[in-house]
Amino acid sequence: MSLMKKYRTIFTHLTGFGCMVILFASCSNTKNLGPGQNLFVGAKEKIKSTDRLPSSKRKDLQSQMASLVRPEPNASILGVRFKLTVFNMFKEPKKKKGLVYWLKYKVGEPPVLASNSVLEKNRLVLQSHLENEGFFRDSVVMDTSVKNKKLSVTYTALVDTQYRINHVSYPNDSGIIAKNIQQYATGKKYVLLRPNNPYSLDVIKDERTRIDARLKDKGFYYFSPDYLLARTDSTIGNHKVDIDMKLKPETPAMAKLPYYINNVYVFADYDINADTARRKAKLFEGYHIIDPNNKYNPKIFSRTLVFKRGDLYNRTDHNLSLNRLITLGIYKFVKVRFEPARDSVQKLNAFYYLTPTNTKSIRFEVSGLTKSNNATGGEFSANWRHRNLFKGAELLTIAANFGFQTQISSGYNVNTLSYGLEADLYVPRIIAPFRLNTSSAYVPQTKFGASYKFYNRTTLYTLRSIGASYGYIWKDGVKNEHEFTLININAVKPANFTDSFKALIDTNLTVRRSVEKQFIIGSIYNYNYNSQAQANTKRNNFYFNGNIDLSGNLLGLATGANINEGDKKKILGQEFTQYVKLEGDFRHYLRLGKYNSFNTRLDAGVAVAYGNDTLVPFIKEFFAGGVSDLRGFRARTLVGAYYAGNPREKLIYDQPGDVKLLLTAEYRAKLFSILRYALFADAGNVWTLKYDTSRPGSKFYSSQFLNQIAVDAGIGLRADISILIVRLDVAFPLRLPYNLPSGEKYKIDFGDSEWRKNNIVWNLAIGYPF
């Protein structure tokens, strides 16, 4: 039997088996239902209009109606209710534990039964919703259908012309609050209720909330949107309504007056048993600080709090102060209370109750790893934190780590021993001779850093790295963050080369570059935008990370560095590197459902050496392949059209490049319970800017790079256990980037065991790839 006939036979049997499973599942869905019980299989929503209803409005109404119908039917895939089938497979367990109980109630789900009372309630809810949308005196008709103990329902909305707003009036008396409402109601830019707009109860509620927010920013602390009453008159004819927005008669007098800040009390070390006596307060720059143990420098509060004595109360500053206190990182609970001042009219005393988090903490971590380049190992780390080092909310972090890794490939056995120490100090203000424009909603930080790292590749060499940095972190808003490292220093010193490794680097330029002595001194600017940093249900979300990395630029200008004209220039006896590196990572997340999304990514970058260098430092280069890159290729093995060899036959060293391009598309969906699946494809590569004699085909040419794009595809399984996501992706090449005949470039042969060994790549990782 030919291979094609063999596959066809297998496919026929699988198809037949699949049909039998679907038939069994369909029959088993209703077998346990009692007399008079029907399985609810879904609802349809229809719109019948006597007027011309735009198709977009019709679809919108149908979507709104569908979202209101309850309950949701049992989940199905291609019409088969697998979860219900699993539920029906098992008898009721005697105990609420064990495998049977878990399969029946955790993997499976009970049948969703139809109830006449619930269906009628749905009809009334839908009719009420249509009236709230301006379809007055219209109706919803319900029609049910039962077949083989399966019930479906159709709701048909019979609608006429939607009512529109004719005129809107607001309070017009001489009171101060009426004048403020009139001011906010006449501004054309933000008003929600406008003549000729469709009537909507939700919009009326939003307008009340908008007016309340504006009043809160003008001192009306005790006002509430519930004090506004909207009277609607739909009898004026021509499908028009008049809306009269009034203050309710029972609105209290306090709600009609603006209030000012009197005294501000800060309980800096508060807990439920704390003494809240105000007599112990110390006055500092207008703030009454209650801190009996002098745990905090009072300057924290004068820098962080926005309200001052005599300020007009406003909700924006209220929330701003709370947000700034939280972002200090020294408090786990922050609460504020306002009460009328006893000795003053229209004044509020503010009380801030600040509950500290643990000042010191230590965390230990043990991790294991396995990589697609046959490297396995583990790491132990200890992280210590002090959140109030100098009593000014300064954060000091010290991290120590120790790791071991072994890599076995084609007879080579390379062990790597590493350890390191890293310290960072974050000061909650900008320490600089210049001014940075930062958002007042977030406390900016000055960051000082220092690090030491040691690597010992036992059969090859040792490497020491020392780093130091000084810079700033600030935010424009919850979605935007900037990090500007003004001074970034990194010195790398290799040593203890073995004789075999010396012989290798004499013949392999790429390996030699990976262990070159480096002295980097420069600046780095990073900008990050993430629309998902603020929880939302938008269909489209975006992420962007841009990075500018500069080294030796000012030193190059000062020393006149030009390697083409002579020796490399030095600073403090060290040759310094000079380069510019730019990278942008753009991502789009398209929400298709609660658990379904289609996500794309474009990552591009370029690194250019000049002045004092001809090549970019190895540690600043780009790489292609790996668990979050081109998943159908081994980690860091691609560069242009150069073929580094088969990693199953020999040890492949990292292949750096100066230009990077990566495009990824991934569809994500729920499988069941905590399991998710993904279908993905990756395309991209890295290239060098200069010709590399040891890696022919690696150089970037605008006329050739498209033919050197590597493409892969695969499927992934993810376990989402809330605190982390464990990911397993399997991928294979669709298109090889090497200079091969077209037949070899696109070769896919799952029937060939050798092809499978060389091309199917398994990737195990924590978190999503992007």
- Band (pLDDT 50/70/90 cuts) for residue 137 is confident
At 283, list the tokens.
């006055």
What pLDDT sits at residue 450? 98
Nearest-angstrom CA–CA distance, 629 and 682:
7
Query: Any residues with CB less than 8 A from the CB of 436 and at least 6 apart, and which?
Result: 430, 444, 472, 474
| DSSP H/E element including 738 | none
What pLDDT sits at residue 196? 94
C-alpha gyration radius of the chain = 34
pLDDT tens column, 195-224: 999 999 999 999 999 999 999 999 999 999
Q: Are 717 and 744 in contact (CB under 8 A)?
A: no
Greatest mean pLDDT among 404-408, 613-617, 660-664: 660-664
- Band (pLDDT 50/70/90 cuts) for residue 16 is low
At 401, list the tokens.
């780590």
Buried-exposed string 365-404: b where 16+ CB fall within 10 A, e elsewhere: eeeeeebbbbbebebebeeebebbbeebbbbbebbebebe
Residue 514 has pLDDT above 70, yes or no: yes
Cα–Cα distance list, 560 to 63, 449, 554 (Å): 67, 30, 10
Cα–Cα distance list, 159 to 43, 57, 134, 153, 337 (Å): 19, 12, 10, 19, 49
Nearest-angstrom CA–CA distance, 86 and 100:
10
**Which residue in this structure is represented by tokens 């020999």?**
650
Helix 116-132 and helix 55-68: axis angle, to 10°?
140
Q: For 188, list phi and psi in degrees, rounded to 5.
A: -70, -25
Nearest-angstrom CA–CA distance, 61 and 57:
6
Residue 556 has pLDDT above 70, yes or no: yes
Nearest-angstrom CA–CA distance, 537 and 380:
39
Q: For 88, list phi and psi in degrees, rounded to 5.
A: -75, -15
| Global confidence as pTM | 0.79
pLDDT tens column, 586-604: 999 999 988 899 999 999 9
What pLDDT sits at residue 374? 60
Residue 7 has pLDDT above 50, yes or no: no
- Give the 3-state secondary structure of residue 112: coil
What pLDDT sits at residue 188? 66
Nearest-angstrom CA–CA distance, 325 and 328:
5
Bigger pLDDT: 438 or 457?
Answer: 457
At 306, list the tokens.
């926005």
At 260, list the tokens.
């000012």
Nearest-angstrom CA–CA distance, 697 and 639:
8
Nearest-angstrom CA–CA distance, 196 and 166:
6
Residue 474 has pLDDT above 80, yes or no: yes
Buried-exposed string 287-314: b where 16+ CB fall within 10 A, e elsewhere: bbbbbeeeebbbebbebbbbbeeeeebb
What pLDDT sits at residue 4? 46
Q: Are 291 and 268 in contact (CB under 8 A)?
A: yes
Nearest-angstrom CA–CA distance, 190 and 193:
9
What pLDDT sits at residue 349? 96
Q: Are 666 and 606 in contact (CB under 8 A)?
A: no
| DSSP H/E element including 468 | strand 461-477
User: CB count, 10 Å around CB of 236?
Assistant: 11
Mean pLDDT of 497-519: 88
pLDDT tens column, 258-305: 999 999 999 999 988 777 777 789 999 999 999 999 999 999 999 999
Q: Using alpha carbons only, give the angle 354, 359, 362 rounded to the nearest 5 degrees.
A: 140
What pLDDT sits at residue 472? 96
Mean pLDDT of 7-27: 51
**Which residue in this structure is represented by tokens 């569908």?**
66
Residue 225 has pLDDT above 80, yes or no: yes
Query: Any residues with CB less than 8 A from the CB of 646 and at least 6 apart, and which?
Result: 758
Mean pLDDT of 30-49: 91
Dmax over CA atoms of the chain, in Å, equals 100
What pLDDT sits at residue 24? 52
What pLDDT sits at residue 322? 95
Q: How much is the mean pLDDT over the chain?
A: 90
Q: Are 320 and 334 in contact (CB under 8 A)?
A: no
pLDDT tens column, 110-124: 999 988 999 999 999
What pLDDT sits at residue 714? 97
